[in-house]
Structure 1
Amino acid sequence: MTPTPYTVADVMTTKVVAVTPVTGFKDIAAAMKRWQVTALPVVEGEGHVVGVVSEADLLPKEEFHEHGPGMIEQMRRLGDTAKAGSRRAEDLMTTPAVTIR
């Protein structure tokens, strides 16, 4: 007997919590904590997914909270240092979002 391959339905979360592009950093972090997830889809309009905010997207803001990066570190980590000053999902999210049915 050969094993049946998994489908998305086998591994997906059925209760999805999403944020909008204008959702603030603190609200994103609070939603992740409350729902015990490590990433949230960013949706606009009638639920069209435009990006994903993950814990990894939030880390630079916390990392550089106390002190800003030096010039060399800024050049080496442009993406991270840009996100460090971000306050809303649209600036923090990874885009484009890759989705499947």
Structure 2
Amino acid sequence: MKALDVMTSSVISVTPETTVRDAAKLLVQHRISAMPVVDGDGRLIGMVSEGDLLHRTEIGTEKSHRSWWLELVGSDRDAGDYVKSHGQTVADIMTRDAICVAELTPLNVIASILESHHIKRVPVVRDGRLVGIVSRANLVQALAAGAQDSAQPEASSDHDIRARLMAELAGRDWAFPGRNIVVRDGVVHLWGAVWSTDSLNAMCVAAQGIPGVKGVVDHTIPYPIMTGL
């Protein structure tokens, strides 16, 4: 699946001229934590979030002054902090060079972007213009709707189940060496020595994810740990 399959098309956005107060009202009214900033042509030019509104003079949360000797080497940062806390329009406080994706960006790429950049939503653009937004909630909604229940047919036999599971485990570092898999009447039996509980859990999840599997039985033993003599 791609961004266009799950994105919200009716996006709440603001312009650089929107007042800080109005931007805050929109965030509260629509129960969102961030929104895109667009110009008159609908082009994405930034994002404004709760974080941009955190340090404000109106509520007494502006950053405190530093000692005079730190100000000598950090005057530019102090000036930026002042604009953030005292600016009256979105242009003063917004985060520029916003991260964005295209309509055909795969969901796995979007998930990685959200996680690595510690953000909750990412704008979707077409030729620079805002066309939607994908949030973490959209990904969860796709999961709830069965987005990943692809048309993989149910395994027709125990042999088919075993072949699919072996293919799924091929090349996985956590798939322990010396493993043996036996499938009988739709039940997967795992044999061998496992590196860790995590690797065993991963094996079980892989087996349970194959259509037609009725259960998984663990016969494994801990992999021997060699210690120095």
**TM score, norm. by length of structure 2:** 0.36
Q: Which stretches of structure 1, 4 residues or more, deviate above 4 A after TM superposition?
A: 73-77
Distance in 1, matches of 2:9 and 2:92, equals 27
Question: Over the residues paired in the alignment, what is the CA RMSD in angstroms?
Answer: 2.8
Greater Cα offset, 13-22 or 49-58:
13-22
Deviations 1:29-75 (A, max 9, x none): 10011111111111112200111001000101158736762234874
Tell me, in whole angstroms, the C-alpha distance in 2 between the residues paired with 1:92 and 1:67. Answer: 13
In structure 1, the residue matched to 2:87 is 86
Amino acid paired to 1:30: K
Q: Secondary structure at the match of 1:71?
A: coil
Deviates more, 1:44-53 or 1:81-90: 81-90
- Alignment-derived partner of residue 53 in structure 2: 58
Q: Which residue of 1 aligns with 2:36?
A: 41
SS at match of 1:52: strand
Is residue 16 of structure 1 aligned with residue 11 of structure 2?
yes
Alpha-carbon distance in 1 for matches of 2:3, 2:98? 16
Q: Residues of 2 paired with 1:53 and 1:68: CA distance?
A: 19
Change (3 A) 1:66 1:60: closer
One-letter identity of the residue aligned with 1:93: M
The structure number with the bigger radius of gyration is 2
Gaps of 5+ in 2: 103-229
Q: Which has the higher strand share?
A: 2
Distance change >3 Å, CA 66–CA 97, structure 1 → 2: closer
Alpha-carbon spacing, 1:67–1:19, altered in 2? closer, same or farther (3 Å): closer
Distance change in 2, residues 1:67/1:18 (3 Å): closer
Which sits farther off after the overlay, 36-45 or 55-64? 55-64
1:93/1:68 CA distance change after superposition, 3 Å: closer
Aligned length: 96
> Hey, what's the Cα distance between the residues in 2 that align with 1:30 and 1:13?
20
TM-score by length of 1: 0.75
SS of alignment partner, residue 53 of structure 1:
strand
The amino acid of 2:100's aligned partner reads T
